[in-house]
Structure 1
């Protein structure tokens, strides 16, 4: 299962998602951002690679759909509704990501 975590600048939230889920057997994880100033900007290759696209806010889903509409195809984009209130590996952020993503992985299997 390939998980792609997306936030704005790929600084705190999406790298935390990547770090948390890459430790899980049978899961590959990447992270990227939608902003031009992102540490690692989301690419078409990322979209094509992902089985699940997990965005932190609705605005990220909108940006992906605007830029990659055809390539997203029937690939689900899940909005996790996690605000930009956390630092990298903040325990509360880790807990939010674990509880939000686990059911989505289970449903996709």
Structure 2
């Protein structure tokens, strides 16, 4: 059975789409991404929260927004903060490496 990872950042333009792309090719892993800001490219939906096995947020503020907006749906869900600041471009090699090192424990 595959593991479903949902990556969240603010606007779903740089960090979370990079994470979705990086891990999409991993065997046994399904990925999705969304943003939590009102102007996000793709705003988080209840369906995405329900779909996910593990929700990986880039910063603590994202965890707070997730709980505020979707708290009722988070029972039994693993939510982890990756502590990755908004300092990177889409698919920037340094971001890819950071994601791989921080997400490793959630892939097995």
**TM-score normalised per structure 1:** 0.95
Where does residue 13 of structure 1 map in the other structure?
15
Report deviation, 1:38.
0.3
Where does residue 49 of structure 2 map in the other structure?
47
Where does residue 96 of structure 2 map in the other structure?
94
Taking the aligned partners of 1:23 and 1:89, their CA distance within structure 2 comes to 14
Q: Which one is further off, 96-105 or 76-85?
A: 96-105
Taking the aligned partners of 2:29 and 2:17, their CA distance within structure 1 comes to 15
Where does residue 104 of structure 1 map in the other structure?
106
RMSD: 0.6
Q: Map Cα deviations across residues 61-107 of structure 1 (whole Å, 9 max, x no partner).
A: 0000001111011201100000000000000100011111111222x
Where does residue 64 of structure 1 map in the other structure?
66
Moved beyond 2 Å, runs of 4+: none
Q: How many pairs does the alignment contain?
A: 106
Secondary structure at 2:80 match in 1: strand
Please tell me whether residue 36 in structure 1 is matched to residue 38 in structure 2: yes
Report deviation, 1:47.
0.3
Gapped runs of 5+ residues in structure 1? none
Q: Map Cα deviations across residues 12-39 of structure 1 (whole Å, 9 max, x no partner).
A: 0000000000011111100100001000
